[in-house]
Amino acid sequence: MKFLLFITILLFASTASAQMSSSELLEEVLNQLEIKVENVEMRFLSEMVISDSEAILVFPEIAEQGEQYAIYHSHVLIVDRNDGSIKSRFSRKEEWFSDAIGIEAIEILFEPYQISNEYKVFGILIDYYVQSRANPYSSKNLSLFIIKEDTLERVLNDYIIYQYRGETNGTGDGEFEEIIGAIETIKSNQTLDNLQIIKTMRKIEFVDGVEEVTETSESTEVLTFKNGQYVQSN
C-alpha cells in the first residue's frame, strides 16, 4: 500500500513538473510565432489556466510606437501548458491602439456567460482611459471568443460594456455620465444564445466635492447571433 502511494505521489510530481512556467511558456510561444520578446508589451500580457493541460495567453505585439501613441498586433492563443505548443490562435495586425485613449489593462474572462452547450467561451476585456482632468474618460470593451477544436472564432468585437465620461473645471467638480451594462442570455435555436444587455445610465454632478446623482435611466439592447457574429437586433 505504501509502495502504491509512493508511486502515485511520484507520478503526480512528475506531471506537475512537466508543466512549463509562465516565462517558459511565453518564450516557447514567441519562438513559434517568430516574435522577439522586446516587441511584446509585457505590462498587458495576460494568462489564464483553463484546464490541467491548457491556458489562454493574450498579448499585444508592438507594431509601431511613438512618444504619445502605440499600435499593436493582437494575439489570443490557446496553448499547451506542458510543451508550449499553440493549439489554436487568433491574431490581427494593427488592431489595438493606445493614443489619446490609452489601454490600461487587458483581462481574460473564462466562460463569463453560459451561451453555448457545444463550445467553450471566453472573453477579453480591455480597459481604456483618458488622462485628462478636464475631460476624464474610461471604458471597458468586451470581445467574446469560442473555442472550436483547433480554431478560435471571435463572435463579439470590442463591445462597450462600461463607460464613464464627463467635463470638469479641472479640480474635480463637473458633470459626468456613467453607463453600466449587465449581460443576460436569451435562449435561441442558433449555435450561441442571444445576449440581452440591460444598461443603467447615471448622470452625476460634483459640486465642491459633493456627489449628486441627478438622473437615472435604464434601457435594453439585444444582440442576436447571426452568420457567426453578434449583431444588434432591429
For residue 75, is it within any domain? yes
110 shares its domain with 181 = yes
Domain count, the chain: 2
115 shares its domain with 171 = yes
For residue 82, is it within any domain? yes
84 shares its domain with 172 = no
Q: Identify the three-state secondary structure at position 189.
A: coil
Radius of gyration of the chain (CA): 22
Lowest mean pLDDT among 10-19, 53-62, 92-101, 126-135: 10-19
For residue 4, is it within any domain? no
47 shares its domain with 157 = no
139 shares its domain with 82 = no
Domain of residue 60: give its range: 20-99
Lowest mean pLDDT among 5-14, 59-68, 172-181: 5-14
For residue 13, is it within any domain? no
Please say which residue of 50, 78, 99 terminates a domain. 99
Please say which residue of 43, 65, 99 terminates a domain. 99
Question: Does residue 20 contact residue 30 with C-beta atoms inside 8 Å?
Answer: no
115 shares its domain with 229 = yes
85 shares its domain with 113 = no
8-state DSSP, 64? E
Q: Identify the three-state secondary structure at position 55.
A: strand
120-130 vs 86-98, strand pairing mode: unpaired
For residue 15, is it within any domain? no
Q: Does the pLDDT value for residue 167 go beyond 80?
A: yes
For residue 171, is it within any domain? yes
Q: Does the pLDDT value for residue 37 go beyond 70?
A: yes
Helix then strand then coil, in percent of the chain rounded to 5, is 15, 60, 25
* CB proximity list for 185: less than 8 A, separation 6 or greater: 113, 114, 115, 193, 194, 195, 196
106 shares its domain with 91 = no
90 shares its domain with 108 = no
Q: Which of 9-13, 195-199, 229-233 has the highest mean pLDDT?
A: 195-199
**Which pTM was predicted?**
0.88
Q: CA 117 to CA 110: how far, in whole Å? A: 15
Q: What is the pLDDT of residues 139-162, one digit of tens each?
A: 999 999 999 888 999 999 999 999
Q: What is the mean pLDDT of the chain?
A: 90
Q: CA 155 to CA 167: how far, in whole Å? A: 34
Record the cell numbers describing residue 28, joined without a space. Answer: 516557447
Question: Does residue 180 contact residue 199 with C-beta atoms inside 8 Å?
Answer: yes
DSSP element (H, E) containing 17: helix 2-18
Q: Does the pLDDT value for residue 215 go beyond 90?
A: yes
Q: Computed from CA positions of residues 227, 229, 151, 14, in that sequence, does the dihedral angle turn out positive or negative?
A: negative
Please say which residue of 99, 119, 142 terminates a domain. 99
137 shares its domain with 45 = no
Q: Which residue has the higher pLDDT, 10 or 225?
A: 225
- Per-residue pLDDT band for 190 (boundaries 50, 70, 90) equals confident
- Per-residue pLDDT band for 63 (boundaries 50, 70, 90) equals very high
